[in-house]
Amino acid sequence: MSYACDCCIARAWLLSRLGGHLERARTRIEETLALSDEDLIAAVGGRNQEQVRSELRGADPETARRRTRSAGLELICRCDPRYPARLRDLASPPAVLHVAGGLERFLELIEKDPVAIVGARKGSSYGLEVARALGRDLGRAGLTVLSGMALGIDSAAHSGALAADAPTVSVLPGPSDRPYPSGRAPLHRRIIATGAAISELPPGASVWRWTFPARNRVIAGIAAMTVVVEAGGRSGALLTAAYAQAIGRPVGAVPGLVTSPHAAGSNRLLARGAKLVTGAQEVLDHLFGAGVRKAVSEERSPLEPDQQRLLAAIGDGHDTPAALARAGFPAEEGLARLATLELAGYVRRGPGGRFTVVP
């Protein structure tokens, strides 16, 4: 059953109403969202404080509930005993979660030790393949994959879980009935068909810069573990990791090339004690103990020695002509073998015909 109390619905409405005003608090958004309604209005309302107070007093919770139902969403507020327990560790747990895809399904999924997989919006081919593989293999192991549906690493993680026929949960910076970014509409539909999309903002709310770090704290709050696949030095994924560390949750990171700007942040996390993650098994070991739960390996046909040489050359980062030459194949024969590797699921063809190894 979906329900949220009047005071929590009023709080969600207030965040939407103060959207632009909260921009000035973007760098300290968690502390700001921890304020009471009155203190929040006083802190960011500026000259509109009295008008906002008057509108808040006149806001009709039942109208908000009808709008939510019309958008196909369900509600749960922090006054409900079923509210996700992990979120209560945050300094500012969302007053209301607006759920697309089904409240009961969402609550069930986040009981399965959800793992957040986050990272750069402009991930490298290596990072995208690792994110897909983590999403796929964690989904096969029965864990819920959680991310923010952003371009790059986030979307790759969701797609990996879906490719394994596993449900996944997205936390959005805007209303959960609308995909963000809008170009991710097909992915949004696939996510809510078997999983869920959630937001603390009501239908019709705008997306602001502050809603991204606010979204990141929710991801960290729900996740049993957060894994950063790739992140530049100022990536929002690092903020998600910081929120997770602040509430005592484990953080993992995937190592990257020291020369790559995509990996600067994730490599720094490793240097500061984040758990090394090169595959799903390490995540399972960190969460449940070494060997307690096993990652399910994908069945792929074994490779001949010459195919292994070609795969190793591609894995070293050589482009297709160089990989063929390094493995000792004439161009025509090498391309035929690459096609075989692609059909067997060992490589993926990317932009410009360049191949990358599928983990």
Choose one of 256, 288, 320: the last residue of a domain. 288
**What's phi and psi for 145, nearest 5 deg?**
-90, 130
Position 31 in a domain: no
Q: Residue 354 pLDDT more than 80?
A: no
Residues 102 and 245 in one domain: yes
Domain termination site, one of 255, 288, 321: 288
Look at the block and give the residue holding tokens 């864990």.
143
Q: Is residue 233 part of a domain?
A: yes
- What's the rounded mean pLDDT across residues 6-15? 96
Q: CA–CA separation, 230 vs 234, rounded Å?
A: 11
- pLDDT-wise least confident of 80-84, 133-137, 158-162, 292-296: 292-296
Residue 58 included in any domain: no
- Nearest-angstrom CA–CA distance, 19 and 28: 15
Is residue 344 very low, low, confident or very high in pLDDT (cuts 50, 70, 90)? low
Q: Are residues 194 and 309 in the same domain?
A: no
Q: According to the model, what pLDDT value does residue 35 have?
A: 97
Examine residue 213 and state whether it is found in any structural domain, yes or no.
yes
Residues 322 and 282 grouped into a single domain: no
Residues 233 and 160 occupy one common structural domain: yes
CATH of the domain at 260: 3.40.50.450
| Residues 114 and 229 placed together within one structural domain of the fold | yes
Greater model confidence, 65 or 345:
65
Is residue 358 pLDDT above 80, yes or no? no
| pLDDT per position as a tens digit, 182-220 | 999 999 999 999 999 999 999 999 999 999 999 999 999
Range of the domain at 333: 305-357
Residue 36 lies in a domain: no
Check whether residue 186 and residue 273 sit in a common domain. Answer: yes
Task: Render pLDDT for 147-185 as a digit per residue (tens, 0 to 9).
Answer: 999 999 999 999 999 999 999 999 999 999 999 999 999
Q: What percent of the chain has pLDDT above 70? A: 93
Give me the number of domains the chain comprises. 2
Instruction: For residue 325, give the CATH number of its domain.
Output: 1.10.10.10
Looking at the fold, whether 159 and 206 belong to one and the same domain comes out as yes
Structural domain includes residue 79:
yes
Distance CA 276, CA 281 (A): 11
pLDDT in the model for residue 313: 74
Mean pLDDT of all residues in 216-225: 98
pLDDT computed for residue 352 by the predictor? 66
**Same domain as 202, residue 333:** no
Q: Under a CB-based contact definition with an 8 Å cutoff, are residues 72 and 175 in contact?
A: no
- The pTM for the full model equals 0.86
Per-residue pLDDT for 28 more than 90?
Answer: yes
Residue 196, classed as helix, strand or coil, is strand
In a domain, 9, yes or no: no
Q: Are residues 214 and 314 in the same domain?
A: no
Shared-domain flag, residues 280 and 317:
no
pLDDT in tens, 239-287: 999 999 999 999 999 998 888 888 999 999 999 999 999 999 999 999 9
pLDDT at 68 over 90: yes
Q: Give the residue from 234, 259, 288 where a domain finishes.
A: 288
Alpha-carbon distance 22 to 24, whole Å? 5
| Same domain assignment for residues 201 and 246 | yes
- pLDDT at residue 323 above 70? no
Average pLDDT, the chain: 91
Residue 5 lies in a domain: no
34, two tokens: 């921890």
**Contact status, residue 305 vs residue 346, Cβ threshold 8 Å:** no
Beta strands in the chain (DSSP E): 74-77, 96-100, 115-118, 145-147, 168-171, 196-199, 225-228, 251-253, 275-276, 347-349, 355-357
Instruction: Identify the pLDDT of residue 7.
Output: 95
Give the pLDDT score at 1: 63
pLDDT of 165: 96
Percent residues over pLDDT 90 in the chain: 74
**Residues 267, 348: one domain?**
no
CA distance 166 to 187: 14
